[in-house]
Structure 1
């Protein structure tokens, strides 16, 4: 080959490679643009397991994008009040929130099904319904009407049934009880005689201490111990039949989410999935120790009687029938959850709960 011709061709190839490299850099930059979002949480930093999910998401996204996608996480009240987080996202005040759907049932009762409804799904079923049962698609179809998009980003597991200043032995003991409990659970409790009270989290302890309220529900042993409820209410009931496995969501402004590059959407999706799993794991790891501490402080553990649970279950089914007849959004989500729950419990009782029941008996017998 003619040497002059060879070097001419080689030079052309080199120029082509250089041109490709020059074109590649802006393409990569375009795929990883500098974006800064703000996230408002509905939770204070003192509830560290829940609040940390927001900072975990922000950290994961930042690391995955080499710092190009930055999310600033703000605690409840630092940007907007805790129960206005989703409103701020929809309005574009912030791009993202870490909150619970059921805080917004005043807009539509169907919001409750995004978090938990009384006698609904447990944590494992909730995650399965959202991930593999079509739940996430159904919820986001509903949320689109509010300019929102959501991904599961936390679950506390089954919660406790709350703190009471007196024993609750029968359904009649609930009549006239002033209890801090809101949402559909409050509506159902009112049907069995409870007077629901909506009180901000920071005001619950003094209200219980002064007797302004007779009872309160919150989360579970880890958070409840930190909040000191055992100092002003002796009886700790279980389970919270109103929250068998409540989901905490990352909510995004729908337009802002859709504008993201596909790789950033994937980063967010993966970060939320990791935060979702991590929150439940941390509560599972922390609640047992906290429960022992509470009992050591004199807390009296009590289980709701079957009669109380049956009366509340009946009231819940009546409520859902009424809502389904009047609200198509609610009915669509509720019917999906009900169908999923029936199959899930059919399978769970065969193997999973059969195994768990046996092992729990061994734990009680001290033979683990």
Structure 2
């Protein structure tokens, strides 16, 4: 896709293109080379691929005057330190999941997904049009970064377990690799959460350092090989109903960009976001069938486990809200938006999807 085509597709142009000649734009654009570390190994070609797609679109939209080089987790900084590298100016931009940094402040969870939060579409609608982006960027400003939408996995799976989970008691003492704020919910149920970067999960599960692990869904989970060491595959991942991925940009670097480059970055992030969602919808169905053929045992979390998890999550949200004004403000905004969203979804979307799922040939 060429720069002019990209401008037309993403909406940067049309009216603007009529008044600003493309060659004039190209002549006035500075040459920039940025580095983008990610939280993903290259083997996860949808997560890491989203960063590559974003960088590629930026280059093509600027006749390669603005170039972004992507790096896998560990090549510049560890996967869970991308935010820190952007914040302190070691790099200009990073591709990561906001909730990895909830240890700094629980409010970071909202840039990805809050336990029992909204699905992909409602979460994205809140970020884009429900005030979420401005609210989060006001918070992120404290850490010298600004956020751009750059991916979404859709509803995730509940993870891989060595043993079946028949009741809430089976969670007690369970060493569970689980990302972000959801680990604190699992603690309330007696589990022992572990935050481990994607590339390090398999050896921990294989050696028995952990008893269970969640990552994303069938396509990525198959690539990471979890079915070989933990056969029980659970759903749904209630902690990630529709988790966003973000690109964090150093605030000083962002403010120094020409407005055109800012627009290109934002629209390239949207393109990567749409690409990632489509890629997972394409790859997860056949991957699940392959995993089942390889011996995966598919289970739904028992209803008592789901209800206990929901109760624990709401308790935690209220506890944190009582002591953290930023968390409370964002949580109330998202919760109100999601409640309205689900009232609409149950009218048409859920009914239609349930009917079609019942008639699908699986």
Q: Hey, what does 1:301 align to over in structure 2?
A: 298
Measured after TM superposition, the shift of residue 182 of structure 1 is 3.8
**CA–CA distance in 1 between the matches of 2:268 and 2:200?**
33
Query: 1:184-234, CA deviations, whole angstroms, 9 ceiling, x for partnerless residues?
Result: 211111111111123343332222223222111111100111111101111
When residues 100 and 200 of structure 1 are mapped into structure 2, their CA distance, relative to the original with a 3 A threshold, is closer
Residues 1:288 and 2:285 are matched in the alignment: yes
Q: Hey, what does 1:126 align to over in structure 2?
A: 123
Say what the alpha-carbon RMSD is for the aligned residues: 1.6
Alignment of 1:33-72 (within 5 A): 33-72=30-69
**CA–CA distance in 2 between the matches of 1:131 and 1:26?**
31
Measured after TM superposition, the shift of residue 30 of structure 1 is 6.5
Alignment of 1:310-321 (within 5 A): 310-321=307-318
**CA–CA distance in 2 between the matches of 1:326 and 1:142?**
16
Q: Hey, what does 2:348 align to over in structure 1?
A: 351
> Which secondary structure state, in structure 1, belongs to the residue aligned with residue 322 of structure 2?
helix
Assess if the C-alpha contact under 8 Å between 1:31 and 1:263 holds in 2: no
Q: Hey, what does 2:254 align to over in structure 1?
A: 257
Q: Which has the higher helix share?
A: 1
Assess if the C-alpha contact under 8 Å between 1:171 and 1:308 holds in 2: yes
Alignment of 1:218-257 (within 5 A): 218-257=215-254
Query: 1:252-280, CA deviations, whole angstroms, 9 ceiling, x for partnerless residues?
Result: 01111111111111111110001011101
When residues 202 and 258 of structure 1 are mapped into structure 2, their CA distance, relative to the original with a 3 A threshold, is same
Residues 1:89 and 2:91 are matched in the alignment: no
Q: Hey, what does 1:190 align to over in structure 2?
A: 187
Unaligned runs of 5+ in 2: 1-20
TM-score normalised by L of structure 1: 0.90
When Rg is computed on C-alpha atoms for both structures, the one with the higher figure is 1
Query: 1:107-137, CA deviations, whole angstroms, 9 ceiling, x for partnerless residues?
Result: 1110001100110011111111111111111
Q: Hey, what does 2:272 align to over in structure 1?
A: 275
Q: Hey, what does 2:71 align to over in structure 1?
A: 74
When residues 133 and 206 of structure 1 are mapped into structure 2, their CA distance, relative to the original with a 3 A threshold, is same
Measured after TM superposition, the shift of residue 25 of structure 1 is 12
Measured after TM superposition, the shift of residue 67 of structure 1 is 1.2
Runs of 4+ aligned structure 1 residues displaced above 6 Å come to: 24-27
Measured after TM superposition, the shift of residue 27 of structure 1 is 6.9
Aligned residues: 342
Query: 1:115-164, CA deviations, whole angstroms, 9 ceiling, x for partnerless residues?
Result: 00110011111111111111111110111111100111000001100001
Q: Which of 105, 108, 113 lines up with 2:110 in the alignment?
A: 113
> Which secondary structure state, in structure 2, belongs to the residue aligned with residue 38 of structure 1?
strand
TM-score normalised by L of structure 2: 0.91
Assess if the C-alpha contact under 8 Å between 1:42 and 1:75 holds in 2: yes
**CA–CA distance in 2 between the matches of 1:56 and 1:283?**
15
Assess if the C-alpha contact under 8 Å between 2:156 and 2:236 holds in 1: yes
Q: Hey, what does 1:362 align to over in structure 2?
A: 359
**CA–CA distance in 1 between the matches of 2:61 and 2:207?**
49
**CA–CA distance in 2 between the matches of 1:349 and 1:198?**
34
Q: Structure 1 stretch 169-178 or stretch 315-324: which is displaced more?
A: 169-178
**CA–CA distance in 2 between the matches of 1:31 and 1:140?**
29
Measured after TM superposition, the shift of residue 183 of structure 1 is 2.5
**CA–CA distance in 1 between the matches of 2:54 and 2:231?**
37
Q: Hey, what does 1:149 align to over in structure 2?
A: 146
> Which secondary structure state, in structure 1, belongs to the residue aligned with residue 181 of structure 2?
helix
When residues 183 and 91 of structure 1 are mapped into structure 2, their CA distance, relative to the original with a 3 A threshold, is same
Residues 1:329 and 2:336 are matched in the alignment: no
